[in-house]
Amino acid sequence: MRSTPFRLAAVLAVATLATACGGAGDDGDSGGGTAGEPASTAGFDGSTIRLGVLSPLSGPIAVIGQPLTSGNKVWFDHLNAQGGVAGKYKVELVQEDTQYKPDVTVQQYNKIKGDVVAFTQVLGTAPTLAVLPQLRADRILGAPASLDALWVREDNLLPVGAPYQIQSINAMDHYLGEGGGSPGSTICTMVQDDVYGEAGQQGIDFAAEKYGFTVANTQRFKVNTENYAGQIGALAGAGCEMVFLTATPTDAGKIWGTAAQARFTPKWYAQSPSYVGALAQSPVAPYMRQYVTIVAEGTEWGDESVPGMKDMVSRVAEYAPQQQPDFYFAFGYNQARAMTAVLEQAVEAGDLSRDGVLAASRELGTVSFEGLTGDYRYGPAQDRNPPRTTTLFAVDPAKPFGLATLKYDFTSEAARSFEFRKADI
């Protein structure tokens, strides 16, 4: 018992010591320099701009993360070959694997945030939502690699492409106009039971109100379900003539396989992430060829008539010859392009600090993607106007990516009137 006061004193002494040494592990921004010559700051040493990539490079979603990151890389390789941002600052990517898990994403974000000017890719809706509070607190700009409508009104995010809602509205417009459907047809949906599936469903519900049809049956499923016979049976039982599908490739393949076995043959419209090139080489390809329409953006791989595609394919040949045709690749390529526009703006203002980059993203006007996706009008988050264009594809195994353009780059009236609101996230 004698030693108790001594122990207490020791603990107190340690506590005082702890407060005396060491402050916050915060990285200070050194603010703006003179116009034209940005001062060095976190992630910028005066000659090289470092950008973060938070992407699933392993695990089941790596089939999306790897080509997307490769897309980022090819654009920046091309840019660096031209001299870099504003002709003089090379760009370097800092890649970290998130495994598509929110908590790992937060860890990896913390790992590299002091070392990058901005994040040019954060893949996945849930991972993006997980780092969003930190992006706001650290005043960093991040580019989400998903077409979620939640991103449009967020100051700290730099989205590209037409959100999923727009894709599904345009798909309905096509079905009712040229696809042989009418508001009286039995229209159904099959959606993944998560935030991505909900985005597609939201678009369909909006279209239902606009065009005056009702959704006869909605089937929800969990990612990696083994057996889809129940859902397919329910859709067939409801007599669906058209089914709108939101899924990821592995599930979509199983779903169409089950439908083919059950001889269930509605008109399928599927959101872009449902498709991957390998499906066109799989046994389910004949079924897809006959009944499936893919709702996406841009044009088919290798289409020389679209200038953006022509340039992209030649750059792939130069910087990543082993890259297979892939739509996620194009997404990553477009993302890198939008980030480059922001960086150019920031360099022009002479400020590559975090606040400088955010300010540059607010001052950005319309960025053109030369037909690879619709042009995006940036600016302050509350005034942004995302593209409303969609391209429909038929499955054709003879094409490089297995997709042939059915209807290129169109916008429906309903999609034009869809309003994006700031979500409470």
Where does this chain bind other proteins (CB under 8 A)?
Answer: 7, 10-11, 14-15, 17-26, 57-59, 62, 65-66, 69-70, 73, 93, 95, 97, 99, 101-103, 106-108, 110-114, 125-126, 129-130, 132-134, 137, 150, 193-195, 197-198, 320, 423, 425
CB of 273 to other proteins, least distance (A): 15
**Closer residue to other proteins in complex, CB, 197/298:** 197
- Least separation in angstroms between residue 61's CB and other proteins is 11
Q: How far is the CB of 10 from other proteins (least distance, A)?
A: 7
**Cα(78)–Cα(99) distance, rounded to whole angstroms?**
28
Q: Which residues contact 166 (CB under 8 A, 6 or more apart)?
A: 203, 386, 387, 388, 389, 390, 415, 418
Query: Is the Cα dihedral 390, 393, 398, 401 positive or negative?
Result: positive
C-beta of residue 297 within 8 angstroms of C-beta of residue 272: yes
| Smallest distance, other proteins to C-beta of residue 149, A | 11
Q: How far is the CB of 375 from other proteins (least distance, A)?
A: 27
92 vs 383 by CB, closer to other proteins: 92
Nearer to other proteins, 38 or 65 (CB): 65
For 419, the token pair is 């309003």
Q: Which is nearer to other proteins, 201 or 340 (CB)?
A: 201
Residue-by-residue DSSP string for 270-302: EEGGG--GGGGGSTTHHHHHHHEEEEESS--TT
Q: How far is the CB of 65 from other proteins (least distance, A)?
A: 8
Looking up tokens 């940036």, which residue turns up? 378
CA 257, CA 303: separation in Å to the nearest integer? 29
Query: 54 by DSSP, 3-state: which?
Result: strand
- How far apart (Å, rounded) are the C-alpha atoms in residues 23 and 339? 33
Shorter beta-carbon distance to other proteins: residue 30 or 134: 134
Q: DSSP code of 150? A: G
Residue 126 or 238: which CB sits closer to other proteins?
A: 126
Q: How far is the CB of 326 from other proteins (least distance, A)?
A: 12
| Counts for the chain of helices (H) and strands (E), in that order | 13, 13
Q: Residue 38: helix, strand or coil by DSSP?
A: coil
Distance (Å, rounded) from C-alpha 351 to C-alpha 409?
36
In the complex, least distance from residue 228 CB atom to other proteins, rounded to whole angstroms: 18
Longest CA pairwise span in the chain (Å): 92
Task: Report the C-alpha gap between 272 and 269 in whole angstroms.
Answer: 10
Instruction: Give the count of beta carbons closer than 10 Å to the beta carbon of residue 108.
Output: 24
Q: How far apart are CA 407 and CA 384, in angstroms?
A: 26
**How near is the Cβ of 237 to other proteins at its closest, in Å?**
23
If the CB atoms of residues 67 and 356 are measured against other proteins, the closer one turns out to be: 67
Separation CA 334–CA 36 (nearest Å): 26
Of the pair 176, 316, the CB lying nearest other proteins is at 316
Structure tokens at 15: 């506590």
State which amino acid sits at residue 162.
A
Closest CB to other proteins among residues 5, 283: 5
Sheet holding 118-123, edge to edge: 90-97, 48-55, 118-123, 142-145
Rounded Cα distance, 210 and 220, in Å: 23
CA dist., res. 417 & res. 290, Å (int)? 32
> What minimum distance in Å lies between the beta carbon of 400 and other proteins?
20
Q: Which is nearer to other proteins, 13 or 278 (CB)?
A: 13
User: Minimum CB separation from other proteins for residue 239, in Å?
Assistant: 27
Nearer to other proteins, 27 or 344 (CB): 27
